[in-house]
Amino acid sequence: MNTHKHARLTFLRRLEMVKQMTLEGLDVVRAAAAHCVTAPTAGKWLGLYLAGGEAALADASCGRRDLAPQNF
């Protein structure tokens, strides 16, 4: 995994957060606050995890995935 310098959480921290939400019942807002991310970001990572498991969190960057790489 390539973690960029502005990434709030690494894969392991994202996994820890979603497990707190799924196994311990922590709500999205509290989980987000505890991990210093926004609630929409925490919700996105939870959705990725529920849809694709741990592998889906491996590349959870916020960049747009629908754009082709630009050739300069």
Q: Residue 63: is its pLDDT beyond 80? A: no
Considering the chain, what is the average pLDDT of its residues?
Answer: 81
Q: Nearest-CA neighbor of 11 among 20, 21, 1, 19?
A: 1
Q: Where do the domains of the chain lie? A: 20-57
pTM of the predicted model, to two decimals? 0.72
Helices vs. strands in the chain: H and E counts, helices first: 4, 0
- CA–CA separation, 14 and 43 (whole Å): 11
Q: Residue 42: is its pLDDT beyond 70? A: yes
- CA–CA separation, 65 and 50 (whole Å): 19
